[in-house]
Each structure stands twice: as structure tokens, then as C-alpha cells.
Amino acid sequence: MTRLLLVPPDTRPVTLSLPTLLAQMVGAEVGVPPQKALPFFFTPGDTGKLRQWLLKMAPSSDVLVVCLETLTLGGMIPARRVTDSLAEVLARLEVLNEIKTLNPLLKIYAFGVVVRVAHDNDPHEEKPYYGEWGHWLRAYGVAADRLSRHGEGERPALEQARAALPPDILSDWLGTRKRNHALHLAALELAKSGVIEHLCLTLDDTAEYGLAALDRRALEGQTDALELWSKVDIYPGADEVPCALIARALSPASQRAYVIYSGLGGQNAELIYEDRLAGELIRAHLRAAGCRIADTPAEADFVLMVNTPGKRQANRQPDFASVDTAERHLPAFVDRLTEELAAGRRVALADIAYPNGAERRLWAMLQGLPLAKLASYSAWNTAGNTLGSAVAFGKLSGNIVSRAVQVQALFSQMVDDALYQASVRSEVRGKLDAPSPYDLGVQRADAEQHLQASITPQIWALWERHFADSGLKLDVGAAHLAWPRLFTGVFPLTVSE
């Protein structure tokens, strides 16, 4: 049995529970650090405890999947906020050399996340001052990137943004990015030396222009210089990367995925939180997991069915201007899904028509299908989050040793993505008193009470409709929120023989 260690970016279900289920589904034993070593929301984990845990566990393990920000800065969100020096960060990174020396056979799969420039003014997931200055920090980044690409004509916009920002805030903001960028450059050197088996450097909530794009080009240039592309992926993503690297680690041989879109031009769909079109994003996520596109269904190991927007993603549904347009035909897409399932193919379904939840229209159309036969269902957060997890489960779906674990992962995603994110979350929000999207404060208890009352009967109804004949048993715990905000729900579910 493969023994896999997972150091996640944080402790949300999608970053900890879901990748753990993915590995357990194919028979791996998964070890995770003690709770105090891991972050909670914007509170950093204990990097010292994490180091000691790795030194203890690594000698008897086969694989390590590690978030560099958790290892060196206390977590993906704390990495955007803490003031730790670069010297401290690089000293903490050194534990990877130590454990590789202790266990030369240990394969280390690492990932780092380029500091995001949030699309909203969140003062909790970003620096505390981002709530007030987020607009001008975004403007500065866009102008700096445009200047680097298009020349001096862009300088007035850069100077306008610089003048609008307090110098100490701009300096701190850029200093944090510089420190984290140096961490990623050091990780590239560890990949070059063979300490890191494979490295993903990803862009969270990115866009065509901005500081993240500048960082991406610099990292790509260094990867070119080190001739490292066989061991490195740089692309938009974040929370789903543990799943991608677990799929690569536990099934090293390349697999092919045949991609089917909901519209014939689906590969050209535009996405809100990524810097590229859907087709290029899919290629990037396939590569990260050790997969590539199949030219024909006959040569494919699994089928990746992707519901794309007609033109461009939109945040509110239904959207008839850019999502639900004549550029796609959902009935034909559902017909094809029916055929693929009937043929016994391994099908991963990724719904990226809207960010942050399933498309309600498609979900309703799917209810007549045998959804329990899916290898994977994903429709959460960004398009990259959805695609990365769908690909990972699709790749490993040919090696399942525990049907109960696979069904638990599949059903959990349906509950979160289709029930909660697409519908119940907005229903709960409507019952509260103008809640902040960043911190519910004293309304958290009411929110969780409404959540439990609404979603629990829906969970049981979904199970009865699609999984009652599976021969498996479902236990349901009390739904609650991961953090003091509505964005992430926690739905304790256990599926057993």
C-alpha cells in the first residue's frame, strides 16, 4: 500500500477531505499533519510543528504532496498576509532537502500559488488594507503589466495608480509578492536538483493583465532557462492542485481524455477568473495531472465532458446574454452524456458555465440520468478548481479499490456544488440581515441553522434518487460553515458498505 503524506493549502473540504478521498479511493494510506500545524482561515499554521511532523513521517512514506505556502508561511491565505522574512521562508523550505536525504525514495510533489490580486476588496483573505485599497492595487497591477507589454503609452495609468496609493501600502504589497516569488524560484531550483519530482506553480483568481501575469512570465522564463518543463506546470489554479498532483503521483503513466463540450465552440469560451480560454485551460489542467487530450474516443482512457458558457461566464444565473445562448445546446450535451454512461465509459463531468456552483438548468436536466455511474462531478468555485478535480478523479477512476470512498467523493461534490453552491447558499443569504460576504459576525449561528434546515432533506432526497440502489449506506452529520462566511459549507457525509 502506498503511503502518501498531504500538506494542504488549508483545511477546507475541497483542499483536505476531497484529495484525501481521491487517494483513499485507489487504496493509498493518507497521512495529514496535526490540526495545530495547519492554518485556519487567515490564522497561520505552525510551521515548526509541520517540520517536525515531516521529519517523523517522511522516512516511512512513499509520496509527499505539499503546498509550499503552508510549509513556509503557514498557509495559502496567511502567505498573502504575514510579514515573515525571506530568510525565514527559505530556511523552512530546507526541510524538503532534509527529508529527501532521510528517504531518497520519497517522491515529493510540490505546488505554490502566485499571490493573487483578488477581484473583490476582501480584507480577510488579503492584507487588512485591501478592503480600502484593493481597487487601486488592482489598477496598479494592470497598468504595470500593460506597460511591460505595450510600452510607454501605459505609463500615465501606472502613475495615476501609484499616486492614489499610500507609499507604505504599495511597498508592503509589492514586498510580499517579491518574497513569495523568491520562494517559487527556490522551488524551481529544488526541482532542477531532483528534490522535487514535479512542481506546479499556479495563479489563483487571475486575469489577462495584472501582477500575477508578470510573475507568471518571470517563472516561465526561469523554467525555460533551467530546461525544466518536463517537471513543471505553470497555469491558473489553486485549491484543486492537491488532487492533480495526487493523480499524477498515484498513476504516473500518462492517460488520454476525450473532451466533449456543451457547445461546438466550447473551447473558445471566456472565463472570469482565468487568463485564457476554456480549451487552453483544459489542456493545462490535463497536463498537470499527467494527462493529455485524446484525438478520438477510441483512444481515450476517460471522457471529460465540459459544460461551458455560450460566450463567457457570468456570476448570476440564469444569464441569457453570455452563458445560456445559441452557441451551445444543452439537450444534445445531455444526450451525449447518456450515451457515454450507457457505453460504460469512465466519464468526468465538469460544469464551468458559471463560477461558484452548478448551472441550475443543466442540473435539472441531469436528474433523469444514472448519475451514480459518473466517475466524477465538479462544479465548484473557479473553472480551474472544477476542471482540476474532475480530471484527477477521471484519471484515477480506472484504479478504484473502494467503491464506497469513490461514491462518498462523488456524492459530496454533488451536495456541495449543485445543492449548496448553486441554490442553498443564496437561500440562506436571503434569510439573513444584509450579511457581509467577508464575515458573518453574530449571524453565523442563524446561518448554520438555516443551512441545516434547508440542505439536510435535500441531501437525503438526492441520495434516494440516485444512490439508493447502490448497496451502500449513507450517514449525514450536521452541515455547518468552514469559516465565518457563507462561501464554503461543510457537509459531513460518510458512505460505507
**Contact in structure between 485 and 438 (CB atoms under 8 Å):** yes
**Contact in structure between 12 and 488 (CB atoms under 8 Å):** yes
Angle between helices 241-250 and 383-396 (to 10 degrees): 20
What pLDDT score was predicted for residue 122? 87
340-345 contact pairs (CB < 8 A, 24+): 340/260, 340/303, 340/305, 341/369, 341/370, 341/373, 341/374, 345/297, 345/300, 345/302, 345/303
Cis? peptide before 318, omega within 30° of 0? yes
Residue with cell 485549491: 239
Domain finish residue from 250, 280, 302: 250
Domain finish residue from 225, 250, 275: 250
Distance from C-alpha of 407 to C-alpha of 414, rounded to nearest angstrom: 10
Q: Which of 232, 282, 216, 261 is nearest to 111 (CA)?
A: 232
Residues β-bridged to residue 134: none
Examine the domain organization and report whether 260 and 209 are in the same domain: no
**Please, is 100 exposed, middle or buried when counting C-beta atoms within 10 Å of its C-beta (0-12, 13-18, 19+)?**
buried
Residue 306 belongs to what domain range? 255-401
Examine the domain organization and report whether 77 and 218 are in the same domain: yes
Contact residues for 445 (Cβ-Cβ < 8 A; gap 6+): none
In this prediction, what percent of the chain has a pLDDT beyond 70?
Answer: 100
pLDDT tens, position by position, 128-180: 999 999 999 999 999 999 999 999 999 999 999 999 999 999 999 999 999 99
Distance from C-alpha of 82 to C-alpha of 434, rounded to nearest angstrom: 30
pLDDT tens, position by position, 230-256: 999 999 999 999 999 999 999 999 999
Could you give the angle at the alpha carbon of 225 between the alpha carbons of 221 and 227, nearest 5°? 110
Examine the domain organization and report whether 103 and 198 are in the same domain: yes
- For 13, the grid coordinates are 473540504
Give me the sheet containing 347-351, strands edge to edge.
291-293, 255-261, 302-307, 347-351, 376-378
Q: Which of 354, 475, 356, 335 is nearest to 424 (CA)?
A: 356
Examine the domain organization and report whether 162 and 306 are in the same domain: no
Does 208 reside within a domain? Answer: yes
| Helix, coil or strand: residue 481 | strand
Q: Which of 111, 147, 152, 104 is nearest to 15 (CA)?
A: 111
Mean pLDDT, the chain, rounded, equals 97
Examine the domain organization and report whether 244 and 96 are in the same domain: yes
Prediction pTM value: 0.98
Examine the domain organization and report whether 191 and 274 are in the same domain: no
What pLDDT score was predicted for residue 182? 98
**Contact in structure between 400 and 26 (CB atoms under 8 Å):** yes
Does 107 reside within a domain? Answer: yes
Examine the domain organization and report whether 58 and 73 are in the same domain: yes
Distance from C-alpha of 44 to C-alpha of 36, rounded to nearest angstrom: 9
Examine the domain organization and report whether 93 and 224 are in the same domain: yes
Residue with cell 498513476: 251
First-last CA distance in the chain:
21
Distance from C-alpha of 425 to C-alpha of 429, rounded to nearest angstrom: 6
Distance from C-alpha of 445 to C-alpha of 442, rounded to nearest angstrom: 7
Examine the domain organization and report whether 233 and 276 are in the same domain: no
- At 358, which CATH number? 3.40.50
What pLDDT score was predicted for residue 260? 98
List helix spans (H) across 289-342. 330-342
Does 455 reside within a domain? Answer: no
Checking DSSP bridges between strand 3-7 and strand 29-31, what pairing results, if any?
parallel
Could you give the angle at the alpha carbon of 430 between the alpha carbons of 424 and 433, nearest 5°? 135
pLDDT tens, position by position, 317-365: 999 999 999 999 999 999 999 999 999 999 999 999 999 999 999 999 9
Q: How many CB atoms lie within 10 A of CB 225?
A: 10
User: Based on C-alpha coordinates, what's the Rg of the chain?
Assistant: 22
**Contact in structure between 82 and 74 (CB atoms under 8 Å):** yes
Examine the domain organization and report whether 273 and 353 are in the same domain: yes
What's the count of helices (H) and strands (E) in the chain, helices before strands? 17, 15
Report the amino acid identity of residue 86.
Answer: L
Could you give the angle at the alpha carbon of 255 between the alpha carbons of 20 and 260, nearest 5°? 95
What pLDDT score was predicted for residue 327? 98
pLDDT tens, position by position, 30-88: 999 999 999 999 999 999 999 999 999 999 999 999 999 999 999 999 999 999 999 99
